[in-house]
Structure 1
Amino acid sequence: MSSSTVTSVVTEIVLPGKVEPEGLELRTRALPTPAGGQVVLRMDATGVSFAEQQMRRGKYYDQPPFPFVPGYDVVGTVTAVGPEVDAALTGRRFAAVTKTGAWASHLLLDAGDLTPVPDEVDASAAETVVVNGVTAWQMLHRVAGVRAGGTVVVLGANGGVGSTLVQLARHAGITVIGTASERHHAAVRALGATPVDHRDPDMYGRIRELAPDGVDAVFDHVGGAGVEQSWQLLRRGGTLVSYGSAATKDEEGSSQLPVLKLFGRIAAWNSLPNGRSAHFYNFWAGKRRCRASWQRRLSEDLSQVLRLVARGTLTPQIAATFPLADAAAALTLAESRTVAGKIILVPGS
């Protein structure tokens, strides 16, 4: 198919270097015509994730060199298609994972990277579960494999991934203990988890009181020294799923070192004959080996999550919504750690 009319100008947010949120820059540039296999996606909603908070510090593992446009995922409407792309995609809504580049009014994407969004799901609602939903689904079902009747611990149960993970676990018949600051306990309880104050010096002791026989899985995005205690919470046959190192986000030095230390610990734990296992979840694992199978798995899992949203089984947790031009304020709010759920960016003025 030949390409249709395209928007000639894109507005985007640029991260120029290691700057405070107010150092983000707004720019416009010409948008190229889509090449073969590509589409133009008009952004309807994107979001602020922990990745952007690390990227502005130069601390995100494998981030591109500065300057670049942040934005890990996007929901939008196809406005034009390039050669070899079905023109019927035009006017339809899709979600995509970008890693960077989504903080923009329009994006050029490969058509193969798009996952359809059900008509009954609002763009902002869908945006809350793109990366967060796939991450939560894959960690729970593909990595930990926890069955109905099990018990899990979700650190940061009020966050984007955490709140989604709590709901998916509860839907699967799993008991959840979720850590969060006390101001978020009512929200965590409403999702179906038993809250524990993450500021309590004896947080892990409180969790042991709730699960004296150990738990089937711990989902830990914090890393650092506390990951040892997460490991100790597991019963025989339990699984630790580590998926970040938030505890080290403000440390100077290599962005890769904290992750490499985690890899070392995980390898050491997995060599022990105690019936427990540990994994580092990497959203991008397998993409370089076989992009097609990685994308197929991502679309399958995202479609499952979007169906749960459409049915009302999974309630999107939207903390706040900002126009794209106010990305600095959105990032500042995200870093304040005072809100529950995901902060959404929409086109706006």
Structure 2
Amino acid sequence: MKRVVVDRYGGPEVLRVVEDEIPRPGPGAVRVRVLAAGVSLTDAQLRAGTYLGVPRPPFTPGYDLIGVVDELGPECSRLHVGNRVAALTVYGAYAEHVCVPEAEVVEVPEGLDPAEVAGLVLTYTTAYQMLHRSAHVRTGERVLVHGAAGRVGVAVLELGALDGLRLYGTASARDRAAVERLGAVAIDYRTEDFVTRIKQLTGDGVDVVLDGIGGTTSIRSFRALRPGGRLVVYGHYAMLARGRAALRRWAAGWAEWYGTTATVALWGLLDPRRKTMAYRIQRMRDSRQWLPVSGRRPARLVGGGPRNPQWFREDLGVLLELLAADKIHPVVAERLPLSEARHAHELLESSAAKGKLVLVP
């Protein structure tokens, strides 16, 4: 089979396609023939070595996949050969065949476009879980999402509209119309102060802010919350320069992210009427997932503990039903063969905002 390998951290040029033996699934695992693998900024961070928990080279990138089960390992009882499934692999999906734990895959109904389903596994699941597992939104609440025209932002707006939320989104002037078409009030982050604008629009702030930018934006986002509000921080600066790790930017980015997260957490302790939470989708598959770092619930350490993939299966299942009912619309920007993985990473900065980039083995 063919798979993509990162031999060393770096830019898109470190991605190469190799021939390898088709793997065999071990106990409790299934082998999947990959139909589509998503390409994301997180994959670029893994490739560059800036992602938290990145494996050491050589490794195969690829955060998520859609495929067909073609072999069962010992002790598998839930799935059958021929089942179409989706999986959040974190890395390893850029290959023609991948072995994954049976407990961590989600069955996908026949008839759905694998490339569109790839848009759900990471992006829409992130949006759904931040809204429902972390912030626990209720109908009629006000939600502000930063980067509203980005992939996660669009998913938040689509899902938020279905939930009856009152939506606000920061975006550039050129993306204003797209954000407003999704039912949100657009705020131009270049010309408007979003904290001031939110207070003008709402009087006392929003119930939830979803912040994938980090840095000082998190501190200002906390100020945009009304009493009882929740800030969910789910990202940080990309720490990439032209697709490569920039050492100074990487170090400064992590220092700023940890520093501002600690500052926001301190604010939360001083003002327990508001909560701050950190979200990472792979942690949401663990039994100790969403972690309030301020507010009434005590902070808990991340790591260890038994895995609980049930939430991931349930939430992706909901999204698959919405896709089948034509209620959400993940956009596929481009489909490329596995051999063009390098080109897909080169396109990330220019094409990712237009939709999901997908590798099709």
TM-score (norm 1): 0.89
Aligned to 1:7: none
2:305 counterpart letter in structure 1: R
Q: Secondary structure in 1 aligned to 2:309?
A: helix
Picking from 169, 172, 193, the partner of 1:181 is 172
1:132 to 2:119 alignment: no
Structure 1: gaps spanning 5 or more residues: 1-9
Please give the alpha-carbon distance, in whole angstroms, between the structure 1 residues aligned to 2:323 and 2:109.
9
Picking from 12, 16, 22, the partner of 2:3 is 12
1:227 counterpart letter in structure 2: S
Aligned to 2:58: 67
Please give the alpha-carbon distance, in whole angstroms, between the structure 2 residues aligned to 1:230 and 1:220.
8
Q: Which moved more, 1:126-135 or 1:280-289?
A: 280-289
Aligned to 2:146: 155
Aligned to 2:100: 109
1:90 to 2:77 alignment: no
1:298 to 2:312 alignment: yes
Please give the alpha-carbon distance, in whole angstroms, between the structure 2 residues aligned to 1:143 and 1:224.
20
Q: 1:259/1:105 Cα in 2 relative to 1: closer, same or farther (>3 Å)?
A: farther
Task: Give the drift of 1:301.
Answer: 1.0
Aligned to 2:27: 36
Please give the alpha-carbon distance, in whole angstroms, between the structure 2 residues aligned to 1:107 and 1:24.
18
Please give the alpha-carbon distance, in whole angstroms, between the structure 1 residues aligned to 2:334 and 2:185.
24
Aligned to 1:165: 156
User: Percent same amino acid at aligned positions?
Assistant: 37
Q: 1:338/1:143 Cα in 2 relative to 1: closer, same or farther (>3 Å)?
A: closer
Aligned to 1:336: 350
Task: Give the drift of 1:299.
Answer: 0.5
Picking from 259, 262, 266, the partner of 1:261 is 259
1:58 to 2:49 alignment: yes
Q: 1:87/1:149 Cα in 2 relative to 1: closer, same or farther (>3 Å)?
A: closer
Please give the alpha-carbon distance, in whole angstroms, between the structure 1 residues aligned to 2:193 and 2:41.
26
Q: 1:338/1:305 Cα in 2 relative to 1: closer, same or farther (>3 Å)?
A: closer
Deviation per residue, 1:97-132 (Å, 9 max, x gap): 100001111101121211011223211111101122
Please give the alpha-carbon distance, in whole angstroms, between the structure 2 residues aligned to 1:75 and 1:208.
43
Aligned to 1:241: 232
Structure 2: gaps spanning 5 or more residues: 242-248, 288-303
1:144 to 2:135 alignment: yes
Please give the alpha-carbon distance, in whole angstroms, between the structure 2 residues aligned to 1:66 and 1:255.
23
Aligned to 2:281: 283
1:327 counterpart letter in structure 2: A
Q: Secondary structure in 2 aligned to 1:199?
A: coil
Task: Give runs of ≥4 in structure 1 deviating > 6 Å.
Answer: none
Aligned to 1:6: none
1:268 counterpart letter in structure 2: L
Aligned to 2:193: 202
Task: Give the drift of 1:86.
Answer: 4.5
Q: Secondary structure in 2 aligned to 1:101?
A: coil
Contact 1:41 1:80 in 2 (8 A): yes
1:318 to 2:318 alignment: no
1:222 to 2:213 alignment: yes
1:180 counterpart letter in structure 2: A
Please give the alpha-carbon distance, in whole angstroms, between the structure 2 residues aligned to 1:88 and 1:138.
25
Q: 1:323/1:203 Cα in 2 relative to 1: closer, same or farther (>3 Å)?
A: farther
Deviation per residue, 1:75-114 (Å, 9 max, x gap): 1111122223359621111011100001111101121211
Q: Secondary structure in 2 aligned to 1:236?
A: strand
Deviation per residue, 1:205-256 (Å, 9 max, x gap): 4444333320011100100122111111111111110001026555133875
1:190 to 2:181 alignment: yes
Contact 1:72 1:98 in 2 (8 A): yes
Please give the alpha-carbon distance, in whole angstroms, between the structure 1 residues aligned to 2:354 and 2:168.
16
Q: Which moved more, 1:338-347 or 1:128-137?
A: 338-347
Q: 1:229/1:255 Cα in 2 relative to 1: closer, same or farther (>3 Å)?
A: closer
